[in-house]
Structure 1
Amino acid sequence: MHVKQQRKIIFAITIFYTLLILYFLFFAFGRADKTDQISEYTFIFLPDAFFKLPGLSDLLHPVLMDLVDFGNIAAFIPFGILIPLLYRTHFARFMTLFLLSILVLETIQALTFLGSFDMNDVIQNSSGAAIGFGAYKLGFRTKNNWRNIAATGISGIVLMLGVWGFFGMLDQVFTKEMGPFVAINELKDSTGNTLTGSKPSNLKIGGQDVEPQYNVYSIEGKKKETYTYTLDNKEELYLFFNYGIPDQKDFQGSIKLIVDGHEFLSVSAKDQRHEPEMNKIFLPQANELTITIEGNETLWDFGYREMVYFWN
């Protein structure tokens, strides 16, 4: 096939594919029908899922967002192949122009209420274009068009898997996970002493046998008991605990949890069911924790899990 004819075909494919992508960016999924429901521009400059790509388990049971993330990359791979076939360009120039184009399109989406400006999309779209450019450079090395197409396809798959794995590692590096459970009785109180509460012993609550593993807190013959712990200004942690009133005791009492002067929990016996209650509370930051128990309330297996990076 003549070179000029090949170029015309590639140009036509590029125009058609560009129009297809523009349709999905601005009109697909009923975007135009939703514009009258939007009154504010949406600009997301800080990526919240910078390196997030679906894992192998996600592909076996994908949800819509997994397919969207994958499509945001795969759909732009052809541009990295078609544009260099039409115009001689090097990687830096190609990526600069592509990035500027995507930024303009994302801005138009936001200003026309046909979508939002989302830096996640910019990063994923640009990654797809970069993969395509790399596949073109690796694939188009001979005068045999079919061989070049096959080599480009294989290169694209290999590069996609490489980017996938790389992003997956970065996602793990920059994503916090829940650390190990720390029983509250392992901490010191505000005076530097250890307050362990009662030793774990079996309880019967609501007809259920309960076996505390770490600690048990109750008034122990008093009208009221208060425990205060120092959490050393820990950030992003979840408190875990169970509470209830043992079957052999009257159904009266209360529990309060106060962190740095703010009340995060206040329950009384009249608001509870006749069964063990499990609870989880997120704290953005915590220094001083105060537990106040009255009446026959019993609190057990109280502890926390801190959000940490895997290297911590």
Structure 2
Amino acid sequence: MMSKQRKLIFGVTVLYTILIVYFMFFAFSRGDSEADEYTFILLPDNFLKLPSPSELLHPTLMDMVSLGNMAAFIPFGILIPLLYRVSFARFVIGFLLSILLLETIQALTLLGSFDLGDVFKNLSGAVIGFAAYRIGIRAKTVWRSVISMGVSVALLLVVTWGIGAGIDKAVAKSPGPFVALSELKNSSGMTSNKNELLPFKIGGQEITPQFNVYDSNSKKSETYSYKFDGKEFYFYLKYGIPDQNDFQGSISVSVDGREILSYSSKYQKHQSELFEAYFEQADVLTITLDGNEKAWDVGYREMKHLWE
């Protein structure tokens, strides 16, 4: 390579590196952060979670940041081998050590966090660039080489995007099928749900429970409970006061002694309500129904891996 060309590439590489360092340490108001502790994220929620094509139609700031964490490092995979003869293994090791150092400095200076997920994205972008360089350098002319690299980058980015989505789907948890809680224990410790799934009206709208229905069992109040034994899940419940009864009653839902829902007839409308909540870990759930309050289609969807 001619010395003039090498100097030009070296200058571009230095300027681009400065730009990347600026974005890593000073952009997005990082200097205004009031963080008072080091943040090291060693177990990322996903492998290469990038915005889907539909999300890119109306991208959020985080969508652009996620995509940028990969795309911004593609040029390094092209510029570095243009400057130095380096094998793929040496390039990957050198780049990985460099990005790990920068991520560590980010965390220690409280100008960001050490995020292993970002490291995966950064390294993937650099590898895409290196592969595109190896493909494009075989072209006989400079313009063909540039075009070949550009096309290769686009194709490899799409392939990596798809592989990352597949890995995320395989290792990430997702809600399983709906499980109806049709055998809750009442305040007497008895497992019972003798209420028939008969339709009733709330606000003039006919309601037909599909899975279960609970009420105070002709008492002033009744409490039901269910043991989840530390499961991670989404909880669902519908509630309301039927029209044919006096409009009085209340509902209370607690998880491990912490109240997450509390509504009485004073605040409820003459319509059915849907309550749903996510719990990363829960042991005992209790539902207390007073007066003419009803709860129905009570259930949950447990978070599971694809292979479970």
Q: How does 1:203-242 map to 2 (within 5 A)?
A: 203-229=200-226, 231=228, 233=229, 235-242=231-238
- Give me the whole-angstrom Cα distance separating, in 2, the residues matched to 1:21 and 1:205: 59
Name 1:180's counterpart in structure 2: 177
Name 1:282's counterpart in structure 2: 278
- Give me the whole-angstrom Cα distance separating, in 2, the residues matched to 1:18 and 1:103: 15
Name 1:137's counterpart in structure 2: 134
Q: How does 1:1-312 map to 2 (within 5 A)?
A: 3-32=2-31, 34-35=32-33, 37-185=34-182, 187=183, 195-229=192-226, 231=228, 233=229, 235-257=231-253, 264-286=260-282, 289-312=285-308
Shift of 1:222: 3.9
- Give me the whole-angstrom Cα distance separating, in 1, the residues matched to 2:226 and 2:30: 52
- Give me the whole-angstrom Cα distance separating, in 1, the residues matched to 2:83 and 2:198: 77
CA contact (8 A) 1:244 1:276 kept: yes
**Structure 1: tracts of 5 or more residues without a match:** none
Percent identity between matched residues is 54
CA contact (8 A) 1:197 1:218 kept: no
Shift of 1:145: 2.2
Residue type at the aligned position of 2:16: Y
Deviations 1:10-49 (A, max 9, x none): 22221222222222223333434x15x4433333333233
Shift of 1:80: 0.6
- The CA RMSD over aligned residues, in Å, is 2.8
CA contact (8 A) 1:31 1:115 kept: yes
Residue type at the aligned position of 2:15: F
Q: Which has the higher helix share?
A: 1
CA contact (8 A) 1:235 1:284 kept: yes
CA contact (8 A) 2:139 2:148 kept: no
CA contact (8 A) 2:251 2:287 kept: yes
Stretch of structure 1 that moved more, 114-123 or 191-200: 191-200
- Give me the whole-angstrom Cα distance separating, in 2, the residues matched to 1:202 and 1:280: 22
CA contact (8 A) 2:45 2:172 kept: no
Q: Partner of 1:246: helix, strand, or coil?
A: coil
Distance change (3 Å), C-alpha of 1:282 and 1:26: closer
Stretch of structure 1 that moved more, 50-59 or 106-115: 106-115
Residue type at the aligned position of 1:245: I
Distance change (3 Å), C-alpha of 1:263 and 1:137: same
**Structure 2: tracts of 5 or more residues without a match:** none
Distance change (3 Å), C-alpha of 1:188 and 1:252: closer
Distance change (3 Å), C-alpha of 1:91 and 1:182: same
Shift of 1:194: 6.7
Shift of 1:135: 1.0
Shift of 1:160: 1.1
CA contact (8 A) 1:205 1:245 kept: yes
- Give me the whole-angstrom Cα distance separating, in 1, the residues matched to 2:276 and 2:181: 14
Deviations 1:124-166 (A, max 9, x none): 1111111111111122124422222222222222211111110
- Give me the whole-angstrom Cα distance separating, in 1, the residues matched to 2:138 and 2:11: 23
CA contact (8 A) 2:180 2:297 kept: yes
Q: Partner of 1:28: helix, strand, or coil?
A: coil
- Give me the whole-angstrom Cα distance separating, in 2, the residues matched to 1:274 and 1:26: 54
Distance change (3 Å), C-alpha of 1:286 and 1:116: closer
How many pairs does the alignment contain?
307
- Give me the whole-angstrom Cα distance separating, in 1, the residues matched to 2:203 and 2:137: 73
CA contact (8 A) 2:74 2:126 kept: yes
Deviations 1:62-105 (A, max 9, x none): 11111111111111111111111111111111111111111222
Distance change (3 Å), C-alpha of 1:105 and 1:259: closer
Deviations 1:205-260 (A, max 9, x none): 234332322222223434444545555x3611222111222222223334444556
TM-score normalised by the chain length of structure 1: 0.85
